A and B are shown apart, each in its own frame.
Chain A
Amino acid sequence: MATESSNGASIVTLKDVTKTFYRGKEPIHVLAGLDLDVPSGSFEALMGPSGSGKSTLLNLIAGLDRPTSGEVTVAGANLSRMSDGQLAKWRSQTIGFVFQSFNLIPVLTAAQNVELPLLLTDLGGADRKSRVATALRVVGLEDRMDHYPRQLSGGQEQRVAIARAIVNDPKIIVADEPTGDLDRKSADDVLTLMDKLNKELGKTIFMVTHDPAAAEKASVQRKLDKGALQ
């Protein structure tokens, strides 16, 4: 896997971003005029009270959603102007996802879950297989290839999910409370792994967390409150 250079240039830039949801006719202004710069190669933690808009912000950075107004530029692409289909393709090439509840497909084995993002590439079966093996080795679960998610512990599931997040060699890994469903020991394993991805593979990591211990692993801690970064 290629190593990204940590040269300090911004990989994520948000300019005057607003996000408004509507509950019926009533607007909910979640983000209002938010600016953000994330340097390439950094490991950032985003904290803040529940309902402050952390997941909303993460979704914008990851190209899962579009802002109501403002510019979102990630890895050189202006996401505000991309169609649904373009965003999907862009995500598959640029973003690795780590979810709070792991989100492995229960009917697929660990290896098949990790392989999913590769099915969107032109890689042949043999290449995919070796990439899957490499990713599982990085997370220390090469011996669990053929296990189904229900045969794994929560910590192992999240490590498989991390293998899935890196198998496509994305520039950025986004994680929404990756340790929220884990016990302390598993949480620490996952955080150590994320640190390794950042330091050894040069991945930019943007992580939402409630856990101060998790935030401590990150090089930058940000706090979101009432839709504004502190």
Chain B
Amino acid sequence: MVPVRYNIRSLLVRKVTTFATAIGIALVVFVFAAAQMLGEGVNRALANSGRTDTVIVLRKGSDAELSSTLDGERLNMLRSNSAVASSAPGGGVIGESVLVITAELADGSGGISNVLLRGMPADGMKFRPEARIVSGRAPSPGTNEVIVGKSISGRFEGIAPGKTFEVRRNRPLLVVGEFETGGTSYQSEVWGDLDTIRASVGRESVVSSARVRLTSASAFEGYRAAMEADKRLNLKVMREDDYFKKASEQTSGFLAGMGMVIAILFSIAAMIGAAITMNGAVANRTREIGTLRALGFSRLAILTSFMLEAIFLSLIGAAIGLLFVQLLALVSFPTMNFQTFSEIVIRFAATPAIMISSTIFAVAMGLLGGLAPAIRAARISPVEAMRG
């Protein structure tokens, strides 16, 4: 074996090149780790939304409220079970209609985004004890009045207290107040009257989903079994917190996937950088390598030595990248929940697993980038030692 200190010192001697290459690798490691930390952050942020004693019922085959429909017959079925807390608001069961509208951003950019509109019966707000009016007043049942969640109030044209916006031509909705729900994803919705909202899209007789309050969290399994037993009803029964967890997995998966794609694209550049650096190292040390070969070091020893050097290089990069990525733990920002279209606040969350996988990723980059130069080094003839 060529002594390891040979490679470490060779890297340290070429400080500038080594550092520049390591920074490239550090950047990739940073992006790679950050994407996963973001995904982890989303999971943590959303895992806490939703109640354990509340159930969301959708049409089977629907993953989200948006794509689900339930008729009156099914709503009645949902009530006819002793696990339902019938003394709760709405008799423990409320059916809601959900639709997404596109609205123009109020920042003057001309951009548009989605807003989730929820039509609920009179007891809809009471059903969610965490919901409260923070300005203005609650909408009157049976009217075109709506309230807007605090997280998105003022972000869109017309969707702010005192203003109106249209879901359907000549059917303006009037915003009469703002509400909050303690930071859960509901806080990024617009709430209005069930009949007004479903009439505006011509779905008078059906709702999108139902929420059922159970007597206790432990009653869930029995209730679900009972409701899903009748295959003709085609119902899907989920605990509200599980529903949000699933939503978070979609979102975090998307963010982590995006980050991964960016990291992999960057890693190609970083790998080329590592390859160029190692190639330069090999070219500059042709006589040195020839000398080692003349002294009796095998091709394999030379190959191993230069692969190790590439790994050290990538480890320096990983260390720098992971050092800086720790700073992200101080950052938090709002983002879109892709299933419920609500805003959630994300904090980058580091875990040992993320640190380890990022380091492995860096080492893989070093190995791939360093392979061709190392092979080149191993092919150098010992005769090179003799050339002046």
What chain B residues lie within 8 Å of A64 (beta carbons)?
Answer: 294, 381-383, 385-386
Given contacts A59-B383, A103-B291, A107-B10, contact A120 B5 (CB under 8 A): no
Contact with A along B281-294 (1 / 0, CB 8 A): 00000011001111
Give the shortest distance, in Å, between A120 (CB) and chain B (any CB): 5
Give the shortest distance, in Å, between B113 (CB) and chain A (any CB): 58
In the bound complex, do residue B294 and residue A97 qualify as a contact, i.e. CB atoms below 8 Å apart? yes
Give the shortest distance, in Å, between A37 (CB) and chain B (any CB): 23
Contact with B along A97-112 (1 / 0, CB 8 A): 1011101011110001
Tell me the complex Cα distance, A107–B291, Å.
14
Given contacts A59-B386, A64-B385, contact A97 B299 (CB under 8 A): no
Given contacts A64-B382, A65-B383, A107-B13, contact A119 B388 (CB under 8 A): no
Determine which residue in A59, A64, A108 has the highest number of CB atoms from chain B within 10 A of its CB, and name it. A64
In the bound complex, do residue B386 and residue A120 qualify as a contact, i.e. CB atoms below 8 Å apart? no
Tell me the complex Cα distance, A221–B165, Å.
105
- Residue B297 is within 8 A (CB to CB) of chain A in the complex: yes
In the bound complex, do residue B296 and residue A88 qualify as a contact, i.e. CB atoms below 8 Å apart? yes
**Residues of chain B in range 331-388 having any CB-CB distance to chain A below 8 Å:** 381-383, 385-386, 388
**Residues of chain A in range 132-174 having any CB-CB distance to chain B below 8 Å:** 164
Give the shortest distance, in Å, between B262 (CB) and chain A (any CB): 37
Tell me the complex Cα distance, A103–B295, Å.
11
What chain A residues lie within 8 Å of B13 (beta carbons)?
Answer: 106-107
Give the shortest distance, in Å, between A48 (CB) and chain B (any CB): 16
- Residue B168 is within 8 A (CB to CB) of chain A in the complex: no
In the bound complex, do residue B1 and residue A119 qualify as a contact, i.e. CB atoms below 8 Å apart? yes
In the bound complex, do residue A58 and residue B9 qualify as a contact, i.e. CB atoms below 8 Å apart? no
- Residue A62 is within 8 A (CB to CB) of chain B in the complex: yes
In the bound complex, do residue B9 and residue A108 qualify as a contact, i.e. CB atoms below 8 Å apart? yes
- Residue B6 is within 8 A (CB to CB) of chain A in the complex: yes
Among residues of A, the one whose C-beta sits closest to the C-beta of B2 is A119
In the bound complex, do residue A107 and residue B296 qualify as a contact, i.e. CB atoms below 8 Å apart? no
- A interface secondary structure, majority: helix
Tell me the complex Cα distance, A26–B101, Å.
79
In the bound complex, do residue A105 and residue B1 qualify as a contact, i.e. CB atoms below 8 Å apart? no
Given contacts A85-B298, A108-B6, A112-B5, contact A58 B288 (CB under 8 A): no
Among residues of A, the one whose C-beta sits closest to the C-beta of B13 is A107
- Residue A75 is within 8 A (CB to CB) of chain B in the complex: no
- Residue B3 is within 8 A (CB to CB) of chain A in the complex: yes
In the bound complex, do residue B296 and residue A92 qualify as a contact, i.e. CB atoms below 8 Å apart? yes
Interface size for A (C-beta < 8 A) is 29
Tell me the complex Cα distance, A55–B388, Å.
11
What chain B residues lie within 8 Å of A92 (beta carbons)?
Answer: 295-297
Contact with B along A37-79 (1 / 0, CB 8 A): 0000000000000000001001100101100000000000000
What chain A residues lie within 8 Å of B383 (beta carbons)?
Answer: 59, 64-65
In the bound complex, do residue B294 and residue A62 qualify as a contact, i.e. CB atoms below 8 Å apart? yes
Tell me the complex Cα distance, A89–B382, Å.
13
Tell me the complex Cα distance, A101–B294, Å.
14
Given contacts A59-B386, A103-B291, contact A88 B298 (CB under 8 A): yes
Interface size for B (C-beta < 8 A) is 26
Tell me the complex Cα distance, A89–B296, Å.
6
Among residues of A, the one whose C-beta sits closest to the C-beta of B296 is A92
Give the shortest distance, in Å, between B11 (CB) and chain A (any CB): 9
What chain B residues lie within 8 Å of A100 (beta carbons)?
Answer: 386, 388
Determine which residue in A84, A97, A103 has the highest number of CB atoms from chain B within 10 A of its CB, and name it. A103
**Residues of chain B in range 259-318 having any CB-CB distance to chain A below 8 Å:** 287-288, 291-299
In the bound complex, do residue A108 and residue B386 qualify as a contact, i.e. CB atoms below 8 Å apart? no
What chain B residues lie within 8 Å of A182 (beta carbons)?
Answer: none
Tell me the complex Cα distance, A120–B291, Å.
14
Give the shortest distance, in Å, between B4 (CB) and chain A (any CB): 11
What chain B residues lie within 8 Å of A62 (beta carbons)?
Answer: 294
In the bound complex, do residue A91 and residue B295 qualify as a contact, i.e. CB atoms below 8 Å apart? yes
Selected from B287, B288, B299, B388, the residue in CB contact (under 8 A) with A84 is B299
What chain B residues lie within 8 Å of A119 (beta carbons)?
Answer: 1-3
In the bound complex, do residue B3 and residue A112 qualify as a contact, i.e. CB atoms below 8 Å apart? yes
Would you list 12 pairs from A and B whose C-beta atoms are within 8 A, ordered by A residue?
A59-B383, A64-B381, A88-B297, A88-B298, A91-B382, A97-B385, A107-B6, A107-B12, A108-B5, A108-B6, A108-B9, A119-B3
| B contact residues vs A (CB 8 Å cutoff) | 1-3, 5-6, 9-10, 12-13, 287-288, 291-299, 381-383, 385-386, 388
Known: A88-B298, A88-B382. 17 other contacts (CB 8 A): A59-B383, A62-B294, A64-B382, A64-B386, A65-B383, A88-B296, A88-B299, A91-B294, A92-B295, A99-B386, A103-B291, A107-B9, A108-B5, A116-B3, A116-B295, A117-B296, A120-B297
